[in-house]
Amino acid sequence: MRHIDIVAAIFLSLFMSDLIAQDWQSLNPPNAPSPREGHSMVTTPDGKVLLFGGGVPGQDLFNDLFVFEQNDWNEITPENDPPPARMEHDAWISGDKMYVFGGLGENGPLDDMWTYDLYLNRWEQPSIPGTRPPARHGQSVVPFPEGSMGILGGTGADGYNLRDLWSYSSAGYEKLRDCPKSYSHHLAFTIGDQMMLVFGEPGVFVYYQIEDGTWGVTTGGLPLQGYASHVNVLNNLNEKVVFIFGGRDAQGEDSDLVYEFNTATGDVIQRQNFLPLPVSGGDAALYKDGGEDGPRGISLADSYKVLLFGGESGGAVMNQTWASTQSYPIAGINLQPSDGLDVVLYPNPASSVVSLQWAVGSLQFAELEIVDVSGIRVMKELIPSGNPKVTFDISSLPQGVYFCRISNESQSVVRKLVVIKE
């Protein structure tokens, strides 16, 4: 679909839809985090959910880290000190790390970047060359083509909303063309590698054409002011769908509505099933919920549900956890935003031998590690210098799901491996 076709196709349909049921159940996990809003939730490569930070406005800010698995939250104690406490930041997973950017700290907006290593259980503050974006909270961060992340808007240190757009990659930050409108606590997501759509005010959306760096503004879109959460899945036609939960409506009230944006057709519809409560400032992520057996009886754990936690409802900050009754296939989940590296693992599934190959002249990797779904390392192998391919024997590995990590001193890439036995 061409750029102009995408924009022309987007409209808000006011009819209700129940094509994909979206009922909810309260999980009441015994170890739930304390009440908070403005936290972040991300899905790890093995289907768990990490929750970081958040706060209660005017009272508390947090820098604690929780993992959701087996229907309960558990606090993680990292090997070193965590980042400063914050809320209204952004977080995402790339490779074997969770990235955290910006947010509102004890002394105002922050401009720092932190990473949490999923395997080493350590926080690090990477050294990033060049100019970095000014401090902010309430920004949006979305994956751009070739592995970079787009950072848009937010509220700055002076209390005004921002309209600047930046990209972040391993090479550092790059300032892009400013958005025509200033937004904070808005929604943004990309359509393939073509466009970024931004919903920041009722009845209006702006769009950014990634290829030529131009902006446009048009009517339509969601009747929301922001503070909503969203997840990406695939529907039964293999079309990318964005579910949008809660937020604040055109009158500034907490919303219990669920919207479904089909990026293939441009349709934006209101779902028939509401949220359990009107909520703003919460977050959502997809988590592994078992799954049917795959080839030769192996459990591929390809069933995921939507997990909602926290937020504000009617002036009260909550710590409720809800899960959708509807499940989605793993194919519909962007567990690892593109790292921009053409690293191929084949054959996959495999039984006795598997190869990793990457483009000649790209990165030089030094080490290969294989870990199981519980994080235990089961194999380690050095990669000869200058070798763009490594083949290794996995005949001793039991049937199951594993993660292959290839790394050097500055960067790592993770690929999922399924081992089957005859």
Q: How many CA atoms lie within 13 A of 316 on its CB side?
A: 6
* 23-68 pLDDT, tens digit each: 889 999 999 999 999 999 999 888 899 999 999 999 999 999 999 9
> CA-CA distance, 250 to 201, in Å (whole number)?
8
Q: In angstroms, rounded to a whole number, what is the distance separating the alpha carbons of residues 289 and 266?
A: 29
Alpha carbon distance 217, 318 (integer Å): 36
415 near 371, Cβ under 8 Å?
A: no
Q: Model confidence over 87-137: pLDDT tens digits?
A: 999 999 988 899 999 999 999 999 999 999 998 999 999 999 889 999 999
For the entire predicted model, the pTM comes to 0.77
How does residue 409 score in pLDDT terms, banded at 50, 70 and 90? low
Mean pLDDT of 221-242: 81
- What is the predicted pLDDT for the residue at 109? 98
Q: What local confidence, expressed as pLDDT, does residue 19 receive?
A: 39
pLDDT in tens, 178-201: 999 999 999 998 887 778 999 999
- Mind listing the domains of the chain with CATH numbers? 3-332 (2.120.10.80), 343-419 (2.60.40.3080)
| pLDDT single digits (tens) 3-25 | 546 666 665 554 444 434 458 89
Task: Please tell me the predicted confidence (pLDDT) of residue 17.
Answer: 46
Instruction: Let me know: does 29 contact 321? Beta carbons within 8 Å.
Output: yes
* Number of other residues whose CB lies within 10 A of the CB of residue 330: 17
Distance CA 366, CA 371 (A): 17
Cβ atoms of 291 and 333 within 8 Å: the answer is no
Distance between first and last Cα of the chain: 43
Number of residues assigned to the chain: 422
pLDDT surpassing 60 at residue 171: yes
User: What local confidence, expressed as pLDDT, does residue 185 receive?
Assistant: 96
Give the dihedral sign, CA 254/221/99/381: positive
**% of the chain exceeding 70 in pLDDT:** 83
CB atoms closer than 10 angstroms to residue 407 = 18
Residue 149, pLDDT score: 93
Mind listing the pLDDT tens digit for each residue in 272-328? Answer: 778 999 999 999 999 987 644 333 333 334 578 899 999 999 999 999 999 998 876
Question: At CA 271, angle to CA 270 and CA 275, rounded to 5?
Answer: 110
Nearest to 224 by CA among 291, 279, 267: 279
Using the predicted structure, report yes or no on whether residue 234 has a pLDDT greater than 90: no
Q: Over the stretch 132-151, which tens digit does the pLDDT of each residue have?
A: 999 999 999 998 877 889 99
Mean pLDDT of the chain: 83
Q: Is 361 exposed, middle or buried (0-12, 13-18, 19+ CB in 10 A)?
A: exposed
Q: Compute, in degrees rounded to 10, the torsion defined by CA atoms 125, 131, 132, 133.
A: 170
Of the candidates 359, 345, 358, the one whose C-alpha atom is nearest the C-alpha of residue 401 is 345
CA 54/CA 104 separation, integer angstroms: 9
* Sequence-distant (≥ 6) Cβ neighbours of residue 372 within 8 angstroms: 378, 400, 401, 402, 403
Q: Strand 224-226 vs strand 214-219: parallel, antiparallel, or unpaired? A: unpaired
